[in-house]
Each structure stands twice: as C-alpha cells, then as structure tokens.
Amino acid sequence: MLTQSILLVVLIVGGTALLSWPLGRYMKWAMDPNDPSSGIAGWKNRAFRAVGGPLATQDQDWKRYILAMLAFNVVMFVIVYGILALQQHLPLNPDGKEALHADLIFNTAASFTTNTNLQHYSGEVSLSYLSQLGGLMWLQFVSAATGVAALAALARGLAGRPLGNFFVDVQRASFLVLLPVAFVFAILLVLGGVPMTFDGAAVVTTLESVQQTIARGPVAAFVSIKQLGTNGGGFFGPNSTHPLENPTFWTNMIEMVAIILIPMACVWMFGRIIGRMRHSAVIFAVMLAFIAVKITGAVYFEAAPTQAFANLPIEQNVGNLEGKELRFGATGGPLWSVLTTSTSNGSVGSMHDSLNPMTGLMPMVGMWLNATFGGVGVGMINMFLYIVVGVFLAGMMIGRTPEYLGWRVEAREVKLALFALLAHGLFILGGTAIFAATPWGADTLNNVGPHGFSEILYEFSSASANNGSGFEGLGDDTVPWNIATAIVMLLARFIPIILPLAIVGSLSAKRRSAESAGTLSVEGGVFATMLASTIVVIGALTFFPAATLGPIAEHVMFMN
C-alpha cells in the first residue's frame, strides 16, 4: 500500500510539474509576447485592443491597472447577481428552478467573482443551466483570468517595463490560456464518462421498481474550468465526490492534475517575463517542498483508523476510510485535500469533516500559508509578498541595503507586504472568534468541542484564502454566514492583488541598480532557506494558537 501511495503522489505531482514547464513557456508567449506588434502576436494584440475599445488602447500605470481590474470585477458581480436573481424568468431552465434568497445570491455572486466558489447551495437543486454556465462558469473563466493578468502585470513591473493594459491581459488569459486548455480537459472528461448535455434531469426506474430523478447537465465543461482555474465550485453539491463529476479512477487523476497544472505553470511564466528562470526554479522548489511535506503529513495521519468507529464491531486495518471514495483508493482523499487547498481550488474528493484531526490540519495549513502554488496567478503574487518581507529581513540581518532584482526594498514596501499578509490572518481569526463566541456560529454546528471549532475555523480560512472548500458539518446557509463570508471573500481577494501592484509601483519609481557581490542572490540555497523560513515563521506566529484550539486539541483528546 505504501508503494502504491508513493507512486500515485509522484505520478500526480511529478507528472504535473513536468507538464507545467511547456505550459509556462506557452503562457509567457500568450501573456507577454516578445514583439507585440508583428506576426501572430501583433494580430492578436490588435484584435484584443479592438475588442477592448478606447479603454484598451494604452498601457496603464499601477493605479489605472487596479481601477480597471476593480471596475471589471464590479461589472462581473452585477451581471451574475442579476442572472441568479432572475433565473426563474430566463431560458435554459428545463427543471423550473426558482430564485435563491437575496443573501445567498449575494454570497454566491461574491464567491464566484473572487475565484473562491464557496457554495452554500447545491447546484443541481438550486440553479438553472443558464445560471451554471452563463453566470458561474463564465466567472470561473474571467475571475481566473484576472489572477493571471495581475501576475503578468506584476512581473512586467519587476522587469522594469510598463505593466500593460488590464483589458488586454484579461482577454489574453481567457482566450489564449484558459479556454484552449479547458477545452482539452473537457474532452478528456467526456471520454472518461462525465456527462455533457442540455437535457433536463432523467427519470429512471430502479431494479426495485422505484422511480428516481437523476440530475445531469453540461457537467464536463463546468468541471474542466472549475479545476484548471482553481475555482473549485461543483456542478453538483457533493462536488468531485459525485459520480457524474468524477466517475472513475482516471478522471480522478485528470482532475488532480488540472488542479495544480496552471498554478505551477504561473511560476515559470513569472520567471520568463522577468528573465530569471533560475530564480523561478528556486521559488518552484520551495513551493514543491511545502506541498510535499503537507502531502506526507496528510497521508501519514490518515493511515490511522478513525475514532468514529472505535466502539463499533468494525475491523480497521487500512486507515481511515470514513468519508472516502473507495474507487479512488485510500490515498486519493488526503492527496486531493492537500492539492485543493494548496492551490485555492476548493473542490473536494472526500469529506474533509471525516478526516482525522491532524490530517484536517494539513488543508488548513495550505490555506493559511496561501502560497504553495496557490490560486491561478495570485499564488505567485502571494509568494511575492513573502519574498519582499524575507529579502528585507535578510538585508537587515547582514547589514546591507535589501534589494530584490535590483530594486531597493524599503520600509514602504515592507509595510504594504505585511499589511496584506496580516490582513489574511485577521479575516480568518477575527471571523472565527466572532462566530465561535456567538449564536451565529455556535447554533449552526453539528459537532461540539475542538471539532466544532475546527469547522468554523476552516470556513473562514476557506473564505479568506479564496479557496471554497468546506469542512462541512456546518449549517452555513444562514444570513450571518452568507454575509460574513461574502465580505471576507471580497476583501481577501482584492487586498492581496492591489497591495503587491502598489509595491511594484513604488519600486518602479526608484532607480534600479545592478546587482553586485554584496547583493543577496535570489538563485541559490540561501535565498530558498530564507524564503521558507519567512513563510514558516509568519504562518506559525499567526495561526498556531488557533490550531491548538482545533485540530491539535482534538488529536490530543483522541490520544487520551
């Protein structure tokens, strides 16, 4: 069993890492052509500027780039809010779905606009095909494209070039990156048995002569971009544990590859745009090391039998199989839980509420650090925040002026980076404290004690990390939960994009100096160690107390 587990992890993570290299090269060509005025690059650049109209004709500074991004996202939010509110009057509603209540519409529109896809509803029960495709799936493309565009702009700024134009970048990311890759994966999923139809629910007669209604729809297209765009929102309520979203062992592997493919490729795209591939290789290695530690911990801790069956006459000798899909194997659940939370994807391949306590800690760590590949585009942006802080600390320790890629890092840049990192912790811990101490959270729990606390902690971690997965065991479709998590998702989405672009704007206003023998190299083991240490220290200082009240306390209780 151990050998099989190792082979599965190596095949998924290692194979995807290899695939990410050529995809990163292609993404650089798509997002940042060497000569945007000639050949194919010139043709597509002119086409995108024509579609964007007057707003896309000129490059933008960091302030105008941010304003364009925010305005575009407001329009996205309003359109989808309208579709969800009026779905009962709109076409592509063969099963006659009614409108959701207002606070759930607000939560859902905010969730998909922010690339979170936190779902307090079941799609097959509540939403029409138009809402699923024309509303939510459209957001899965353009919200992911927003992250890729922001990373490309940040990389151009660090390379000493204009940031570009947001409206051109979001088109490049949508039509040249996400759409073609999603088309390929959708075909693979259809071949694997995932349905793709606009017919309504099927009514069938079982072997017991009982009529059963089976929901279906254009599932393959939805699932493809939900995984590739680190969206994670499921067409069905059970997400990727549903047999029509993920029918076989092979579709399970395809979807796990899709979860981490583009986030990995974003690191290589970043390196190619700034012209420092060895630097991006170091960053990639640090991210890979963190994800390997989390996978190892998750698989190891889940090898212990579940305490839920401790007093039952059930033999347990293959680890914790509670809440798992047996067709995916014992390793599939914990592996998926780490991949989906390391990349802010949020889809689930098992019931996270059924994970052993310390296994459940591993997904939380992924969302707390929020930089081990992370969301499409924004994962590398979050890592940039850690780099700024780490470079500054290293410079202070050795008594030299901190520099990153020739840019002098000073107090202003560090303050902005720390504000973004600490805001993430504030949203998680502040929200958890309020809901754990009030009926807003306590009355929605199905569990008490440390496990119930973990459910609340996980929900706010998921919202703040723009992840979207849920620990479940939580009645979260209430007005307080819908409003609170929606606000957290909106703030946690845009603060970590706005502030890094502001940092780049601040750096660009300075004179760039050539790197010397006294400059900390960003291409070696010292930098990798410094970066990893910065991530661990900030993460531990911020979240360890909360971890001790939740999964660690529950683990200790079971040991006793």
Determine how many CB atoms are found less than 10 A away from the CB of residue 515: 14
Count Cα neighbours of 90 within 13 Å in the Cβ-side half-sphere.
19
Helices 411-437 and 357-369: crossing angle in degrees, nearest 10, is 140
Q: Is the pLDDT of residue 35 over 90?
A: no
The pLDDT-based confidence of 324 (bands split at 50, 70, 90) is confident
User: For residue 170, what pLDDT is reported?
Assistant: 95
What secondary structure does DSSP assign to 472-488, as a single string? -SB---SHHHHHHHHHH
Q: Cα–Cα distances in Å, from 152 out to 89, 356, 413, 532?
A: 40, 39, 19, 24
Spans of all domains in the chain: 2-184+261-274
The pLDDT-based confidence of 234 (bands split at 50, 70, 90) is confident
CB-based contact 456:443 (threshold 8 Å): no
Helix (H, G, I), strand (E, B) or coil at 211: strand
Ranking 98-112, 420-434, 504-518, 530-544 by mean pLDDT, the lowest is 504-518
- What tens digit of pLDDT does each residue of 461-474 get? 999 999 988 887 88
- What tens digit of pLDDT does each residue of 146-177 get? 999 999 999 999 999 999 999 999 999 999 99
Q: Is the pLDDT of residue 4 over 90?
A: no
CA distance 467 to 341: 7
- What is the mean predicted confidence (pLDDT) over 76-89? 93
The pLDDT-based confidence of 309 (bands split at 50, 70, 90) is low
Q: Is the pLDDT of residue 218 over 60?
A: yes
User: For residue 113, what pLDDT is reported?
Assistant: 95
CA distance 323 to 130: 32
User: For residue 516, what pLDDT is reported?
Assistant: 66
Q: Is the pLDDT of residue 491 over 80?
A: yes
Cβ within 8 Å of residue 161, ≥6 positions away: none
User: For residue 199, what pLDDT is reported?
Assistant: 79
User: For residue 402, what pLDDT is reported?
Assistant: 87
Helix (H, G, I), strand (E, B) or coil at 448: coil
- What is the mean predicted confidence (pLDDT) over 370-393? 93
Q: Which residue type occupies 344? A: S
- What tens digit of pLDDT does each residue of 106-153 get? 999 999 999 998 988 887 788 888 898 888 889 999 999 999 999 999
Q: Is the pLDDT of residue 46 over 70?
A: yes
